[in-house]
């Protein structure tokens, strides 16, 4: 079989199972109202929680940076140097999260992979939540540490595994998302911290969906719950409205990452404008209490309204509202019916979520109006009737 024929067969198989993915075409910025596939629709599927992706202050920071810093970063920072823009962002992000130091990466994916691969080796052991993000899973694989997966958000199961296996590893990490990306639930961080302490392990928390959204000044889930993590990872691609990511921790941990994280050492540094935008975004995110309040209000209304209509929506305290459907094809039909009614709400299927738990992952933005949320609820009501659900 030729490679191309192999690829076609794999695609045909995905299509037969309702799992073929096709991205829609977007002809506008990522804002509350978007142009998608030639229509004006309300966006209810981005992680642009605070609506900063097209914020004028961030666009201005990017423009100024192009004048001042140029476009490219030249090479890995260990080769052609750390530009002012990179250093300014790291200083600002460390201060925001009240940590000794921060290190920028190109994406959250590469931050997680580089961080875990550096902090663990073949003699070490990791305890990882069953629903952790793919990038944490891949980072643990690359580290070659032994990995034990505990049942989702289940401290009892984590303790069972720690008791049985802690001694097998020299160093141990407990690794968790702060907010689980497809379910929107909050990890039991205080319990994870206590267990990590009891079994001489360190705690690594991925704040991707909590940063800017939860906690005082949007500092995230650890800050919201008063829990200390040894290492935290945040992305600049979600509430920060841009792209890129960072890891924060002690000065020594960050210095080790600069030396050993392969996704940092062997990759061209992020464009300098990203550093300038990160600084400007940190200022906006810190001060965005009104936007966080709007986000909370929209999330609560969507959960309550959809449940009233008979949709299956689990409890939760974050703006991620999973509308459980189950079957992958039915999920995509509902997504299409919503789109016809002016609501862009993406269906999520395996392997992003477990088999049989396909869903619409509905995410409001702070920049939606109350009328937008009403419109979304009406679209669900109408779609439900048309699909006889």
Ligand X SMILES: *Cc1c(COP(=O)(O)O)cnc(C)c1O
* Gap between the Cα atoms of 317 and 42, Å rounded: 22
- Contact positions toward ligand X, by CB under 6 A? 107-109, 112, 133, 135, 177, 181, 206, 208-209, 235, 237, 245
Catalytic residue of the set 73, 181, 239, 333: 181
Residue 66: strand, helix, or coil? helix
Of 182 and 360, nearer to ligand X (C-beta) is 182
Q: Is 46 a catalytic residue?
A: no
CB 359 to ligand X: min, Å: 15
298: tokens are 């929209």
Q: Is 368 a catalytic residue?
A: no
Of 34 and 363, nearer to ligand X (C-beta) is 363
Alpha helices (H) in the chain, listed in sequence order? 3-16, 56-69, 77-80, 84-96, 108-119, 134-143, 155-165, 189-198, 221-225, 251-260, 262-265, 272-286, 289-308, 328-340, 370-386
Q: Using DSSP bridges, classify how beta strands 321-326 and 245-249 pair: parallel, antiparallel or unpaired.
A: unpaired
Q: Is 209 a catalytic residue?
A: yes
Q: How many Å is the maximal CA-CA distance in the chain?
A: 61
359: tokens are 């869903």
CB 241 to ligand X: min, Å: 12
Of 107 and 333, nearer to ligand X (C-beta) is 107
Of 285 and 383, nearer to ligand X (C-beta) is 285
Catalytic residue of the set 86, 133, 148, 209: 209
Catalytic residue of the set 86, 238, 298, 368: 238
Of 48 and 135, nearer to ligand X (C-beta) is 135
CB 108 to ligand X: min, Å: 2
CB 71 to ligand X: min, Å: 20
28: tokens are 């506008």
What crossing angle do the helices spanning 370-386 and 328-340 adopt, rounded to 10°? 120
* Gap between the Cα atoms of 101 and 105, Å rounded: 14
Of 242 and 377, nearer to ligand X (C-beta) is 242
Phi, psi of 298 (to 5 degrees): -65, -40
CB 245 to ligand X: min, Å: 5
CB 112 to ligand X: min, Å: 6
Handedness of CA 324, 326, 328, 333 (dihedral sign): negative
* Gap between the Cα atoms of 150 and 160, Å rounded: 9
Catalytic site residues? 181, 209, 238
């Amino acid at each position: 079989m030729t490679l191309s024929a192999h690829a076609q067969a794999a695609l045909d198989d995905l299509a037969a199972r309702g799992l073929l993915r096709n991205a829609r075409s977007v002809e506008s910025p990522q804002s509350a109202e978007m142009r998608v596939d030639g229509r004006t629709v309300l966006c209810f599927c981005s992680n642009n929680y605070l609506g900063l992706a097209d914020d004028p202050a961030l666009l201005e920071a990017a423009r100024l940076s192009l004048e001042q810093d140029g476009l490219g970063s030249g090479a890995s920072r260990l080769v052609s140097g750390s530009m002012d823009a990179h250093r300014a962002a790291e200083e600002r992000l460390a201060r925001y999260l009240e940590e000794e130091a921060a290190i920028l990466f190109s994406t959250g994916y590469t931050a997680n992979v580089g961080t875990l691969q550096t902090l663990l080796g073949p003699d070490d052991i990791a305890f990882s939540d069953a629903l952790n993000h793919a990038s944490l899973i891949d980072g643990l694989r690359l580290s070659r540490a032994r990995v034990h997966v505990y049942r989702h958000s289940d401290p009892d199961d984590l303790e069972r595994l720690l008791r049985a296996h802690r001694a097998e590893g020299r160093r141990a990490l407990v690794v968790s998302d702060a907010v689980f990306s497809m379910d929107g639930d909050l990890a039991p961080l205080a319990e994870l911290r206590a267990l990590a302490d009891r079994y001489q392990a360190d705690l690594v928390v991925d704040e991707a969906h909590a940063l800017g959204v939860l906690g005082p000044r949007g500092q995230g889930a650890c800050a919201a719950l008063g829990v200390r993590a040894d290492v935290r990872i945040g992305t600049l691609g979600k509430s920060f409205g841009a792209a890129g990511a960072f890891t924060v921790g002690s000065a020594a941990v960050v210095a080790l990452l600069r030396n050993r994280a392969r996704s940092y050492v062997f990759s061209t540094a992020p464009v300098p404008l990203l550093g300038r935008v990160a600084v400007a975004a940190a200022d906006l995110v810190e001060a965005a209490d009104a936007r966080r309040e709007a986000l909370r209000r929209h999330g609560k209304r969507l959960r309550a309204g959809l449940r009233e209509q008979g949709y299956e929506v689990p409890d939760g305290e974050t703006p991620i509202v999973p509308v459980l459907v189950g079957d992958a094809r039915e999920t995509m039909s509902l997504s299409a019916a919503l789109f016809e009614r002016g609501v862009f709400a993406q269906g999520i299927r395996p392997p992003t979520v477990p088999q049989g738990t396909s869903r619409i992952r509905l995410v409001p933005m702070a920049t939606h109006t109350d009328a937008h949320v009403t419109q979304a609820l009406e679209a669900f009501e109408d779609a439900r009737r048309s699909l006889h659900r």
